[in-house]
Chains A and B, each alone.
Chain A
Amino acid sequence: MSKQIAFVTGAGRGIGRQIALTLAAKDMVVAVSDLNIGNAEETVSLINESGGKAISVYCDVTQLASVEEAVQAATSQLGSIDILINNAGWDKVEPFLKSEPDTWDRIININLMGQIHTCKAILPLMIEQGYGKIVNIASDSGRVGSSGEAVYSAAKGGVIAFTKTLAREMARHKINVNCVSPGPADTPLFKEIGEYNAGIAEALIKAIPFRRLAQPEDIANAVAFLASEEANYITGQTLSVNGGLQMV
């Protein structure tokens, strides 16, 4: 069998970068997409250094046209896309009543519309080949809520529901669609949030039964499992990877 090709969004840093590294280590070819092409190229170098194969692709997930161009760029170099990992995400943590419409738009466009755009662009390729796996990165905030993340949790709750409906519609094409739902993770985004929310990391660590934040590897391993043949009978499900912080 020829190598599988994975398209990972937001793969320039944090969890997305680790997902790209983990999939590459499992012998997949990775299209590393990001808004920040410099970061994407760094991820590609890391993959190349460890003997894997990857390309970088500029992609603004909030714009369908940009996503279509990115998919075109990836497929013209790699042939097709077997696996889509919707990882790109962003949040600004603040009380809902202090948040502004511009922030809401940005959060919904990146976290929810972004996944809708990539699915619109990539599913036809998967349908044509009669095979595909999509893993959408949700968030435990979308399952149980999270103070300071009202609109983000709404977008991520939307991701979970979107995943379930796509799983139903795509099952007949042998395409599996699932969510991995991270709890708090040790990522650049979380560090940014910590800069304007003193003490948030310490408070969360205390509440997590395993007493630590997620490392990107923890999330990437679950993504790799759901993207594998081992998970062929799993679809429409949400798997939380959170050290026991929430149990839904």
Chain B
Amino acid sequence: MEDSRTLSGKTILVTGGADRIGKAIAISAAKNGANIALHYHRSKEEALQTTQEIATLGCRVLAIQGDISDLEQVERMRDKIQTEFGDLYGVVNNAGYVQMKPLFQYAKDEWKKEIDVCLNGVINLAYTFIPHMKEKGEGKFISIVGDSARMGNRNLIISAAARNGVISFIKSLALEVGQNQVQCNTVSLGLIDQGDLGMNEERMKKLIKNYPLNRLGRADDIVGIIDFLLSGNADWITGQVISVNGGSGMIG
């Protein structure tokens, strides 16, 4: 019987896929039939565990280590994926490096690594993976940012700036590769509770007041939009930013 799952036989790269949101996205794409290239940087143990978990779903999966802020490493990732799976169909960039503090608590140049991962990482991924998609005349490039990139946040001042750059980069990219039927979009998140926010109850309550749906997000809240944007049902959506945030920001 023909496999009718939306991503059957297609290869998806999920960056920062070892755990948390990235893991949830990778598992969901795998359930939709994709081969998964699971990127990690430092979380080797978690990545291998997630890889095993995905393998039990009966699809092919490869863990790939690399620092996306380094173009040469991203190119090596591409070569490994090419050897293992052939052409890549989609990239979901979930990786990021964020320091939570106001600007004047940064040491000199301490922000560079953040911008390198959050913005240059996306540029490196696009530069490396999109040429094949253009040639094939199909592909999906999705990057995840935080709503801080759309609205500002004093404690996320650098990553928010870098990721606002990502939004702009992805719009221009969408214009560039639209004629090749490659869709490029940004998913923007509210605060996702992954069990490690370390907030007391009172602070949490105050925070949740900003969320009309009356709770913070969960990794599972994100996979629906990613599944949709990776699917053929979203083939006419490109250059857009969609927030998944429980109503905490309503922009545009």
Contact = CB atoms under 8 A, between A and B. Distances in A.
State the majority secondary structure of interface residues on B. mixed
A180 to B, nearest CB: 10
Interface string A230-248: 1111111111111110111
Interface string A204-234: 0000111100110010011011001111111
B252 A211 contact: no
A209 B224 contact: no
B252 A244 contact: no
B179 A228 contact: no
Contacts, number: 109
A206 B175 CA distance: 12
B221 A232 contact: yes
A120 interface: no
Nearest to B226: A230
B174 A237 contact: no
A117 to B, nearest CB: 23
A92 interface: no
B178 A243 contact: yes
A244 B174 contact: yes
Interface residues of A, number: 39
A143 B252 contact: yes
Nearest to A233: B221
Nearest to A224: B233
A241 B179 contact: no
Contacts of A168: 212, 247, 250
Given A172-B214, A218-B235, A242-B236, A233 B178 contact: no
A135 interface: no
Interface string B203-216: 00000000011100
Given A221-B233, A225-B228, A236-B247, A210 B240 contact: no
Contacts of A237: 242-243, 250
Contact of A244 (B178, B223, B225): B178
A167 interface: yes
A240 B235 CA distance: 12
Interface of A: 143, 160, 164, 167-168, 171-172, 174, 208-211, 214-215, 218, 221-222, 224-225, 228-244, 246-248
